[in-house]
Amino acid sequence: MDAGTLWDEFEAKTREIRDLIAVSDLLQWDQETYMPPRGEAARARHLSLLKSRTHAALCDERLGRLLDDVRPRDDAERATVRLVRRERDRAVKVPARLVKELAETQGHAVEHWKRARAAKRFEDFRPWLARLVALRREQADCIGHAGERYDALLEAYEPGMTVARLQQVLGRLRDGLVPLVAQIAARPAPRTDFLHADAWDVDAQWLVCLDVIRAMGFDFEAGRLDRSVHPFSVGMVPSDVRLTTRLRRDDGASALFSALHEAGHGLYEQGLPAEGTWVGTAASMGLHESQSRLWENFVGRSRAFWTHWFPKLRERFPHALAGVGPEEWWQAVNCVRPSLVRVDADEATYNLHILARFELELDLLRGTLDVADLPAAWNAKYERYLGLRPPDDAVGVMQDIHWAWGELGYFPTYSLGNVYAATLVKAMEKAVPGMWKSVAAGDLLPVRDWLRARIHSRGHLVDSEELVRSVTGSVLDERDLLAYLREKYLSK
């Protein structure tokens, strides 16, 4: 068989695997948005079937032989072979039985999490989380690791990252942030009462979210925005990207900043190359989170952004914003104060939320923390890092959907994303001197276009740290983030 025919066969097999993953993602999106409650059992079965088929396709012996025999002709093909081999090497170590059981458990766990969260009773969710943790431990042991199960799971989200390195990065962030937060907290707090008045019409909030996302350059012919219990996004392919946000009448900022965050993910997905192929995926979830955090915070919480958008917001909400000026609004949405809920946390305290989750996940996987003791351990972490104690499990240990999905190892990518975002913005400001003037005029496309050319369009040709280094000249370094926060919050 000639080289071209071999490559065609290899490409067809790998594209089929990507399509199976896309269909699984679509079913999970539907489960979080439109699936009726009684669809739980069938959905768990459907997801189990699809993920089992995906696993079988990765483990297929013919694919293994093709990986050895194909001769890639360019950088994209070489990257594809490298990525598929890495994914297959992990898959063949995990038994089909475990893949099926994990998928079924995830499908049920999400629905039990929703109900337990609404009832504020962790005990109702505990058996499902305990099962997911046990399955993830088993999966990590099957894949193999050098002493830390967490490393095996983290690799799926952030290739090349390890617990040892994470502890260094997060430890330095903690050491820089704790005194910084204390310095900011010692200053007079801005007024924020109007943000939480029962005056924020949810339909008007929805329209604002659509306007902002459209201005960011999100293509609604290739995506949509919906509502969910927990904001998230998923891209099946660049031509079909789904975002969600959540709306609350007593919160004037949460929906918009969640929409900015998820649209940052969505723009990355829509800008990826080679639809349906392995190289047409994000380089890592840390880099993915850099896009969402960049739009949510570096752009969305900037003075320039609100120069244009605050007058439009006041038109939509004249009652809620009566007597509130643009500077007062900007101060309010940038208020730094320890809080209980991660997705509503300010820029300076956010990584302390992540540190708590990382440490808890590490203990769960090591077996030094039992799931039954997780709520108490969570509360203790929050008291230690944020000086707060959750009043109930809904705003405590069950506030995030990630553990219901079994996504142990994901949370640190948010902090890695914050670090990458600061470095990318620093490079963007040098490369596009008029960037902030454009943002102040309501033109957000220069930001989108710079990111698309340098990050989105390159897909997974190289891993995330190498890609960021090629764009900025910097490695993963928390100093840019700390410098940005000090300049923003302590310079005046």
Domain ranges of the chain: 3-131, 163-490
Mean of the pLDDT values across residues 438-466?
98
pLDDT recorded at residue 1? 63
pLDDT recorded at residue 4? 78
Residue 69 reports pLDDT greater than 70: yes
Mean of the pLDDT values across residues 214-224?
98
231-253 burial code (b ≥16 CB/10 A, e <16): bbbbbbbbebbbbbbbbeeebbb
pLDDT recorded at residue 282? 97
Question: How confident is the prediction for the chain on average, in pLDDT?
Answer: 96
Q: 3-state class of 224 per DSSP?
A: strand
Percent of the chain with pLDDT over 70: 100
Residue 200 reports pLDDT greater than 70: yes
Question: Of 32, 104, 262, 361, which is the active-site residue?
Answer: 262
Mean of the pLDDT values across residues 199-214?
97
Q: Is 275 a catalytic residue?
A: no
The residues near 364 (Cβ < 8 Å, ≥ 6 apart) are 133, 371, 374, 408
Phi-psi region of 217 (alpha: psi -120 to 50; beta: other; left: phi over 0): left
pLDDT recorded at residue 306? 98
Rounded Cα gap, residues 245 and 300, in angstroms: 16
Rounded Cα gap, residues 461 and 76, in angstroms: 6
> What's the pLDDT tens digit per position in 395-416?
999 999 999 999 999 999 999 9
8 A C-beta contact, residue 331 and residue 187 = no
Residue whose C-alpha is closest to residue 193's, from 329, 47, 286, 297: 329
> What's the pLDDT tens digit per position in 238-282?
999 999 999 999 999 999 999 999 999 999 999 999 888 999 999
Q: Residue with structure tokens 């930001």?
A: 447
Polymer length of the chain: 492
Using CA atoms, how far residue 153 sits from 9, 86, 145, 453, in Å, is 30, 14, 9, 30
Mean of the pLDDT values across residues 315-337?
96
Least confident of 173-177, 201-205, 229-233, 310-314: 229-233
> What's the pLDDT tens digit per position in 138-168?
999 999 999 899 999 999 999 999 999 999 9
Rounded Cα gap, residues 402 and 398, in angstroms: 9
> What's the pLDDT tens digit per position in 114-128?
999 999 999 999 999
- pLDDT band for position 492 (50/70/90)? low
> What's the pLDDT tens digit per position in 16-31?
999 999 999 999 999 9
Given CATH 1.10.1370.30, say whether it is the number of domain 163-490. yes
